[in-house]
């Protein structure tokens, strides 16, 4: 039998205002196992804690019940107190008589009655408590960053800066991501390449960072501190360590008509290519779907001109296995497809483009060398219509588009419009908007400058349809302020397409058992207080994979994710939560119900040999829980039909005892 001490807290007048604390401590005195009961003004204060410690000594207490605020608030405090008094910290139970009692009741009688019942339930539970000891697991001091855009780059640099080795896995032939495709960045208009490429070089030169480009993660096993990851390095048919990036092979390659992904198909590249001049690693890659040598065995020109001897047509995909302590997801975003938005004639006219395509058109390294020319005829456009919110802020039931605001479009459209008017003052620029959303440092000032100083025509309303007629685009739109329907003959229409998470995010989330929302953005552990952590321990989030973000926000989040990773890797050992599930193998019938409901992938099945009463042996399939992965949610204990699964600290018998105490 336990010797239980009950400590009722007044919490000033927070509890004592609507609960008769004296009556509560008195009533709980006669509960089974209770040998001491008292009340005090502030239990969590030093004096209150000392009172508990003394009572433990004086009355030889084996269990403690504190009737106070929510366990979220002070459970940890009182566990420490118990430990200091020489008790196992898991012999403490909290009865929440503040948030769930005194704060919601106005009447002293009902409040007191409920507080007594809650106290009885906690006493019933503590009578069945057993001392628990948390397990420990080692930490592999290496981090994995999935995605090599600005988010991944910044996270990797920050982790490496703290002295931990980092690997970046990037599926494209080069790191840099979307930011490498941009021309200028709002609101200060620095050139994207000028601020990004030095960082890319830093990554390449950092001894702590390894880059796996043209690679993807193919398997993830393990748990926080101990992930086993298999990385698939796709064959690029060029020896990465030998290639000097001189580009002689690219010059000689006869396959010239391959749409260039980096310029969004607005010009062509060769079958062997380096995505852009500042690519990291600056190594050529052969596109196996375009190369004549790989397809038909005819050609081999690149191998002939390569003085370094880097070309290897027999290269195979390579699988690399590595251990990591922490994983950062930085898979980024893409603009949505415009296929369902027929009204804007995106698929009918080359002169209807997305904003990312516009970005390439104005980039000095782009298909037009930075001159703003129409994709159809290479003429300078004189009237440009920008359409905002294409596919953003749509109804959840609509067949097309996304429900959320894509956040970055208002600002980049203002930037495009401003830069166009600055470079080509003879151009009429219209921006059709629903709302202009500019919450950010110097953002609204930037947008106002576009209107007031650069004469961009902002019109509140939406474009209804775009009809290509000859070499003009007939734009029909509404001007809600003037209450007019407008008809504009435009030369170029730019659509601010909504953004969505990269398609690789969903399968990755499955591998990580990390949760996602309905839009495939990764979910954070807490939207306000834990914004860069996934609910899955050891998995962190950086950049637009968690939600639409601009560059300043992405970089801050990348740094935050890195600091969380550093905090984890700095530990030699991880102390687990002892309140984890365990399976009674004698009762387990191997049905897999628990494995299916476990959100963390903590449960595995194995065949085990059991001795039967008649001295024979039998092989049965039984569940076992990995305590380092289990987060103690208890879903398995509910799902288990045979009652084999139980949760330490929240055992079925303890929960039932609480219910009985309440219902008595």
Partner 1 sequence: MNNKEYLQEEIIRRSGVNPSKCMRCGKCSATCPAYDEMEYHPHQFVNMVESGDIEPLLNSESLYKCLSCFACIDRCPRNVEPAKLVEAVRLTAIRQQGANRMTANDVPQMIEEDVPPQLLVSAFRKYTK
Determine the Cα–Cα distance for residues 215 and 206; give it in Å rounded to an integer. 20
Q: What is residue 311's DSSP assignment?
A: B
Q: What tokens appear for 570 in the block?
A: 């700095």
Minimal distance, residue 429 CB to partner 1, in Å = 18
- C-alpha–C-alpha distance, residues 44 and 324, integer Å: 40
Cβ nearer to partner 1, comparing 218 with 476: 476
Tell me the three state secondary structure of residue 128.
Answer: coil
465 binds partner 1 (CB under 8 A): yes
Distance CA 423, CA 493 (A): 18
For the bound state, the minimum distance from the C-beta of residue 390 to partner 1, rounded and expressed in Å, comes to: 9
CB atoms within 10 A of CB 229: 21
Find the binding residues for partner 1 in span 443-462 (CB under 8 A). Answer: 460-462
Residue 468 binds to partner 1 (criterion: CB under 8 A): no
Would you say 481 or 619 has its CB closer to partner 1? 481
- Check binding of 343 to partner 1 (CB under 8 A): yes
Both tokens assigned to 177 = 């991501």
Which stretch in 111-119, 182-190, 304-312, 463-471 sits in contact with partner 1 by CB under 8 A?
463-471
Closest CB 649 distance from partner 1, rounded Å: 47
Closest CB to partner 1 among 464 and 649?
A: 464
Least distance CB 393 / partner 1 (angstroms): 6
Which one among 250, 394, 451, 511 touches partner 1, defined by CB under 8 A? 394
Contact map string, positions 398 to 427, toward partner 1, x by CB under 8 A: x--x--------------------------
> Which of residues 227 and 386 has its CB atom nearest to partner 1 in the complex?
386
Q: Which is nearer to partner 1, 343 or 377 (CB)?
A: 343
Q: Which residues have CB under 8 Å from 381's CB, separation 6+?
A: 351, 372, 373, 374, 427, 490, 491, 492
Question: What does residue 247 show for φ and ψ, rounded to 5 degrees?
Answer: 90, 5
Total number of residues that touch partner 1 (CB under 8 A): 22
Nearer to partner 1 among residue 117 and residue 495 (C-beta): 495
Q: What's the token pair of residue 37?
A: 């009961």
Does 476 contact partner 1 by CB under 8 A? yes
Tokens representing residue 364 in the block:
């000095």
Residue 337 interacting with partner 1 (CB under 8 A):
no
Count of C-beta atoms within a 10 Å radius of residue 395 = 9
User: Which member of 485, 592, 604, 653 binds partner 1 (CB under 8 A)?
Assistant: 485
> d(Cα 661, Cα 663) in Å, to the nearest integer?
6
**CA 461/CA 430 separation, integer angstroms:** 11
Distance CA 345, CA 348 (A): 5
Bridge partners (DSSP) listed for residue 573? 138
Rule CB under 8 A: choose which of 464, 468, 552, 599 binds partner 1. Answer: 464
**1 near partner 1, rule: CB under 8 A:** no
Judged by CB under 8 A, the stretch of 17-25, 143-151, 293-301, 393-401 that binds partner 1 is 393-401
In whole angstroms, what is the distance from residue 457 CA to residue 446 CA?
15
| Residue ranges that bind partner 1, judged by CB under 8 A | 343, 389, 393-395, 397-398, 401, 434, 460-465, 476-480, 483, 485
């Amino acid at each position: 039998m336990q010797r239980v001490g009950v400590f009722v807290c007044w919490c000033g007048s927070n509890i004592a205002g609507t609960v008769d604390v004296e009556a509560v401590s008195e009533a709980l005195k006669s509960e089974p196992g209770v040998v001491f009961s008292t009340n005090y003004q502030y239990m969590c204060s030093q004096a209150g804690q000392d009172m508990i410690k003394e009572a433990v000594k004086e009355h030889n207490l084996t269990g403690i019940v504190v009737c106070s605020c929510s366990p979220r608030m002070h459970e940890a405090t009182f566990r420490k107190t118990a430990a200091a008094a020489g008790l196992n910290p898991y012999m403490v139970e909290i009865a929440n008589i503040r948030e769930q009692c005194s704060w919601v009741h106005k009447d002293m009688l009902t409040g007191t009655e409920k507080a007594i019942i809650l106290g009885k339930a906690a006493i019933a539970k503590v009578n069945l408590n057993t001392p628990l000891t948390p397990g420990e697991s080692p930490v592999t001091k290496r981090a994995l960053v999935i995605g090599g855009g600005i988010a991944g780059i910044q996270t990797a640099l920050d982790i490496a800066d703290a002295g931990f080795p980092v690997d970046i896995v990037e599926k494209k032939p080069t790191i840099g991501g979307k930011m490498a495709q941009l021309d200028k960045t709002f609101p200060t208009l620095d050139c994207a390449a000028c601020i990004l490429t030095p960082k890319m070089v830093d990554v390449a030169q950092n001894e702590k960072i390894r880059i796996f480009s043209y690679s993807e993660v193919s398997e993830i096993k393990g748990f926080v501190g101990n992930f086993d990851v298999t990385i698939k390095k796709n064959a690029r048919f060029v020896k990465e360590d030998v290639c000097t990036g001189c580009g002689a092979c690219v010059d000689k390659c006869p396959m010239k008509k391959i749409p260039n992904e980096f310029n969004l198909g607005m010009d062509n590249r060769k079958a062997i290519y380096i995505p852009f001049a500042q690519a990291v690693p600056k190594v050529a890659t052969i596109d196996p779907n375009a190369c004549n040598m790989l397809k038909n065995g005819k050609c081999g020109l690149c191998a002939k001109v390569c003085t370094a001897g880097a070309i290897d047509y027999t290269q195979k995909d390579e699988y690399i296995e590595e251990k990591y302590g922490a994983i950062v997801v930085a898979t980024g975003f893409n603009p949505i497809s415009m296929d369902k938005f027929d009204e804007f004639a995106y698929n009918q006219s080359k002169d209807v483009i997305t904003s990312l395509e516009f970005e390439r058109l104005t980039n000095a390294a782009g298909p037009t060398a930075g001159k703003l020319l129409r994709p159809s005829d290479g003429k300078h456009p004189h009237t440009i219509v920008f359409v905002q919110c294409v596919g953003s802020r749509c109804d959840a039931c609509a067949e097309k588009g996304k429900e959320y605001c894509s956040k970055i479009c208002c600002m980049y459209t203002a930037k495009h419009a401003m830069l166009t008017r600055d470079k080509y003052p003879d151009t009429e620029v219209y921006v059709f908007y629903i709302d202009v959303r500019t919450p950010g440092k110097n953002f609204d000032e930037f947008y106002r400058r576009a209107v007031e100083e650069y004469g961009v025509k902002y019109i509140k309303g939406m474009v209804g349809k775009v009809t290509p007629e000859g070499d003009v685009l007939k734009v029909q739109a509404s001007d809600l302020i003037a209450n007019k329907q407008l008809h504009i003959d435009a030369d170029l229409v730019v659509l601010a397409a909504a953004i969505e998470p990269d398609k690789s995010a969903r399968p990755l989330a499955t591998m990580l058992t990390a949760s996602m929302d309905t839009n495939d953005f990764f979910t954070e552990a807490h939207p306000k207080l834990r914004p860069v952590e996934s609910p899955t321990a050891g998995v962190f989030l950086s950049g637009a994979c968690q939600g639409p973000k601009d560059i300043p926000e992405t970089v801050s989040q990348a740094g935050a994710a890195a600091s969380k990773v550093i905090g984890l890797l700095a530990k030699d050992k991880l102390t687990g939560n002892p309140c984890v599930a365990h399976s009674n193998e004698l009762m387990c019938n191997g049905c897999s119900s628990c494995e299916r409901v476990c959100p963390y992938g903590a449960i595995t099945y194995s065949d085990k040999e059991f001795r039967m009463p008649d001295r024979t042996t039998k092989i049965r399939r039984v569940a076992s829980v990995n305590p380092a992965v289990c987060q103690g949610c208890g879903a398995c204990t509910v799902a288990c039909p045979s009652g084999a699964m139980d949760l330490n600290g929240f055992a079925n018998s303890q929960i039932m005892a609480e219910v009985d105490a309440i219902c008595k």
